[in-house]
Amino acid sequence: MLRRAFLSHLTGTAALVGGGQAVAPSTPAAPAPGSPWTPARHALDEWMDQIPGKHRVVFDTFMADHFGLAVAFAGNQFRMNKEAYGLQDSDLAMIMVVRHGTGPYVFNEAMWSKYGTIFAENMSVADAGSRPKPEHPYLARLTTYVKQGMHFAVCNLTTSNYARMVAKKNGTDFDAAYKELTTNAIGNAHFVSAGVVAVTRAQEYGYALVTTG
């Protein structure tokens, strides 16, 4: 669970460097004058660097009515890298960030059957006339992408908001609703602190950005 990850990270002992000076594990040494800038590394983001692949790409999605474009573009990545370059799915490291209006698309059919109305009524859209229906039209394709190796960075802020709505509907507490949602993701889902942070971290790890809104 994300909270346990944060707690374990906070309670870790500081690393000791020359002279016994304690520094946070994620703090890089100050670069020498004129040397290139290097981003700090954090344990919460290590999974991004562990996905195998010769090419890295991250899709940023945040509006429900634009999500179909990201799904289509991801398919093009798999297809054309294979057809034009002779690569395999395993040669691609692909992450799709779902945040804000697209967060519920990472949940499985069971969650959409139970809470599809809640999801659809609260998913942000760019066009007011394009609000999604209480069903998951992309589930089959995303499940296929998972088998091909795609990973998802799921915004915990968005997930928490939906957990509160579910808890209110069920008359249960937040923790129970949060656990139900986070244990019913479609696969390869990583619940990150915030989707917008994951987008920036992925780029620091060398992922090329494709954004569809």
Domain ranges for the chain, please list them.
46-211
Q: What CA–CA distance (Å, rounded) separates 54 from 47? A: 16
pLDDT recorded at residue 109: 97
C-alpha distances out from residue 124 to 73, 101, 120, Å:
21, 4, 9
pLDDT recorded at residue 45: 98
Separation of CA 185 from chain center: 11
pLDDT recorded at residue 213: 84
The CATH architecture one would assign to domain 46-211 is 3-Layer(aba) Sandwich (3.40)
Residue type, 57: V
C-alpha distances out from residue 39 to 22, 49, 131, 195, 207, Å:
19, 13, 39, 18, 14
pLDDT recorded at residue 8: 41
Residue type, 134: P
Beta strand 21-23 pairing with 15-17 = antiparallel
**pLDDT means over runs of 10, the chain (213 residues):** 41 37 53 81 97 98 97 98 98 98 98 97 94 96 98 98 96 96 97 98 98 91
Q: What is the pTM of this model?
A: 0.83
